[in-house]
Structure 1
């Protein structure tokens, strides 16, 4: 199984002990909500837990995040989000205070969306 190199891991490697001149320590709630709307538009309604496609995609992202963070469940979640990977990711994303955690989620999901999109378009082009 491959390891996913998250944004925070690359930043730690690139920055080493050097301090970045710019400080990026806050992601506005409005932007977070807009990002969630984009996910909803592209992946499918995150509240549609019965949809196997949506559940499977968010489940994949949830597993990657948990594995990379070394946890079994994402922080900031409760019994209401148990077995609902989309809500677990969204709760974590909206409540995380560390910008690198937010950027890990954003990058992972948008890369995943891009990968799914590329595969879908390739399949469409190859059809006779």
Structure 2
């Protein structure tokens, strides 16, 4: 639980609360809060379920030891509190991405144990884990750190409004059976973006956009070719009445906008040969493209759902 204590209210009144996200550091205070939160979420080795707690923390340490090439993180079988080893590694890790590795793995494990009645004996594990994830994301926001744990992954958040109004609804809609491919591509785009692989992020954003239209066409029985471009798929959707007819002129402009924003940026920046000079795709261009892709996907899915309801 996050408490709205006096010092926090005073900082808000002075305007000391960050209103712009940063991605380069995880403040020490936030790290200390997250250590307590992870222990609250997963428990500790002195609990009644100490053996299962030991296994979960050992699993996290084992994954980090392999991926970071850090054999010193392998938990000793005589280690009574492997969480101590994990928390020390987390608190002393200067790299933001590696710190996020710890957070992601910890909450992924929590999600996997949430429905285990033995692990969370006497408690509603799913509600407990969801509550802790909500606190995690609130802590990120409180400290102005632009990341969020959503659908079992850490993603980068550039705009809180866009994230709340566009990205989160898209994630919800793409969790529906049939959209698994588009969902995977959407998350891969965000993962590439978080790690600075901007060209790859643009390519995956376009894939998610095109995949969403293909799924809708499949669901509606609309004929298309697997090789159809985004522009062709948009026109197929319009011709089959996915959008209201009285919006035709507006949607023609929208079609051009989508065609020039999502696919064309990918084509121009991400997928063609770059010649003798190395091309740099600016982060703000990638952010814009991801949000455009998310907005377009949201429009498509909402329109399809509207047709079904009608």
* TM-score bracket, shorter-length normalisation: 0.5 to 0.7
Counterpart in 2 of 1:106? 103
Higher RCO, 1 or 2 (CA under 8 Å, sep at least 6)? 1
Aligned residue runs from structure 1 range 1-128, under 5 A? 24-45=23-44, 48=46, 51-74=50-73, 83=79, 84-117=81-114, 119-120=115-116
Cα RMSD of the aligned pairs, angstroms, is: 2.6
Contact 1:49 1:55 in 2 (8 A): no
DSSP-derived class of the 1:45 partner? coil
Contact 1:32 1:94 in 2 (8 A): yes
In structure 1, what is the Cα distance between the partners aligned to 2:58 and 2:24?
Answer: 28
In structure 2, what is the Cα distance between the partners aligned to 1:66 and 1:115?
Answer: 21
In structure 1, what is the Cα distance between the partners aligned to 2:29 and 2:108?
Answer: 21
In structure 1, what is the Cα distance between the partners aligned to 2:61 and 2:111?
Answer: 17
DSSP-derived class of the 1:120 partner? coil
DSSP-derived class of the 1:36 partner? helix
TM-score by length of 1: 0.61
Task: Specify the structure having the higher radius of gyration (Cα).
Answer: 2
In structure 2, what is the Cα distance between the partners aligned to 1:23 and 1:39?
Answer: 22
Aligned residues: 92
Please list the CA deviations of residues 60-80 of structure 1 after superposition, one character each: whole Å capped at 9, or x if unmatched.
111111111122113xxxxxx
In structure 1, what is the Cα distance between the partners aligned to 2:47 and 2:112?
Answer: 22
In structure 1, what is the Cα distance between the partners aligned to 2:47 and 2:88?
Answer: 15
Q: Structure 1 stretches of 5 or more lacking a match? A: 1-21, 75-81
How far apart are residue 49 of structure 1 and its match? 8.5
Following TM superposition, the consecutive aligned residue runs of length 4 or more in structure 1 with deviations greater than 6 angstroms are: none
Counterpart in 2 of 1:8? none
TM-score by length of 2: 0.27
Q: Structure 2 stretches of 5 or more lacking a match? A: 1-20, 118-123, 125-310
How far apart are residue 36 of structure 1 and its match? 1.3
How far apart are residue 115 of structure 1 and its match? 1.6
DSSP-derived class of the 2:72 partner? coil
Please list the CA deviations of residues 99-118 of structure 1 after superposition, one character each: whole Å capped at 9, or x if unmatched.
0110110111111111211x
Please list the CA deviations of residues 43-64 of structure 1 after superposition, one character each: whole Å capped at 9, or x if unmatched.
1135x38921221110111111
In structure 2, what is the Cα distance between the partners aligned to 1:30 and 1:98?
Answer: 16
